[in-house]
Amino acid sequence: MICNLCPRRCGVLRTETEGEGWCRMPALPVAARAALHHWEEPPISGKRGSGTVFFSGCSLGCVFCQNEAISHRDFGKALTVPRLREICLELIRQGAHNINFVNPTHYAHIVRQVLEEPLPVPVVWNTGGYDRVKTLRALEGRVDVYLPDLKYLDPETAGRYSAAPDYPGAAQAAIEEMFRQTGPCQFDEAGLLTRGVVIRHLILPGQTAQAKAVMDWVARTFPKGAVLFSLMSQYTPWGDLSAFPELDRRLRRGEMESCADYMRNLDLPGFCQERTSAREEYTPPFDLTGL
Ligand code: SF4
């Protein structure tokens, strides 16, 4: 396939085994883990866990990525489309409340094929937010819950930390398309999310103004209470940050508190993680479990 799936629009050939685009991934899926995951937001993880499939490769280049073993170093196992469908069914048999495709942007064509026949549980698109509207439109009716990051609204910061100065405009358009598809959040009788959009933001050291701008945008873009907002504060320095010394520290308590207060004052419904959350809870071992 000639790939223009994400806003990079590389226009390069992806064969079944080789990829020459920014994400480096071939056309067939590569994944690093498929297992029940208990550390998503409560209406997604529920009691039994979310059936996560972690794809390898990435169309972003975040210097602080906690999953860099799979996103930057491409660790993973090559799969076929039928095997990926089988993996989803295995997770459902294990009790997964939903199937949660993690970092699926560069595998949108594969997810679409896997979902040709609907699954008996909601499908979650768990993304960095760097999605193309055109690509999302092809998923309409197949994805039930969108779980995008909104990392930045400032192009300069998006360029510096994720090598994507066009990220803010692309992510804003993508999230508006996601909401157009799902409408306001809906829950089942157990309180699990069956449809809707949950927007995540990871607060970065020294970037509280960015976090507040993101919250302002969410508050003024969507009807009150129609989307959920997840304010994440588990940032942990990771990898070689010598070129980004300002990111080489944990979040200060004051930074977290001022963002949490801001969210409360805006009356944004959602979730606010504790600063003390351990990194390991959010970064599972990438050991090909379940593949
Ligand atoms: S999905 Fe990969 S190859 Fe395709 S446009 Fe995006 S970065 Fe390029």
Instruction: Indicate whether 278 pLDDT > 80.
Output: no
pLDDT score, position 282: 67
R_g of the chain computed on alpha carbons: 18
Which amino acid, 220? R
Phi, psi of 176 (to 5 degrees): -65, -35
Task: Look at ligand 1, atom 2, and give the residue with the nearest C-alpha.
Answer: 23
User: Mean of the pLDDT values across residues 11-18?
Assistant: 95
pLDDT score, position 81: 97
* Ligand 1 atom closest to residue 59's alpha carbon, by position in its atom list: 7
Bridge-based pairing state of the strands 2-3 and 12-13 = antiparallel
Residues contacting 24, CB < 8 A, separation 6+: 57, 74
8 lines ligand 1 (CB under 6 A): yes
Bridge-based pairing state of the strands 228-232 and 270-272 = parallel
CB–CB of 231/175 below 8 Å? no
* Ligand 1 atom closest to residue 22's alpha carbon, by position in its atom list: 7
Instruction: Indicate whether 3 pLDDT > 60.
Output: yes
Instruction: Indicate whether 204 pLDDT > 70.
Output: yes
Cα 141 to its chain centre, rounded Å, is 19
User: Mean of the pLDDT values across residues 196-201?
Assistant: 98
Instruction: Indicate whether 254 pLDDT > 90.
Output: yes
103 lines ligand 1 (CB under 6 A): no
pLDDT score, position 14: 96
pLDDT score, position 262: 98
Cα 70 to its chain centre, rounded Å, is 14
User: Mean of the pLDDT values across residues 21-45?
Assistant: 95
Quote the pTM value. Answer: 0.96
CB–CB of 122/144 below 8 Å? yes
Residues contacting 218, CB < 8 A, separation 6+: 150, 199, 227, 229, 268
Q: Could you tell me the CA-to-CA distances from 6 to 77, 130, 141, 291 in Å, in that order?
A: 22, 7, 19, 26
Confidence of residue 69 (pLDDT cuts 50, 70, 90): confident
201 lines ligand 1 (CB under 6 A): no
Q: What share of the chain is helix, strand, coil (3-state, %, to 5)?
A: 35, 20, 50
Closest C-alpha to 130, from 282, 8, 3:
8
106 lines ligand 1 (CB under 6 A): yes
Instruction: Indicate whether 273 pLDDT > 80.
Output: no
Q: Is the model more confident about 175 or about 238?
A: 175
Instruction: Indicate whether 274 pLDDT > 80.
Output: no
pLDDT score, position 284: 85
Tokens 């405009």 belong to which residue? 169
pLDDT in tens, 133-174: 999 999 999 999 999 999 999 999 999 999 999 999 999 999
pLDDT score, position 279: 53
Which amino acid, 38? H
Separation CA 61–CA 139 (nearest Å):
24
Percent of the chain with pLDDT over 70: 97
Instruction: Indicate whether 102 pLDDT > 70.
Output: yes
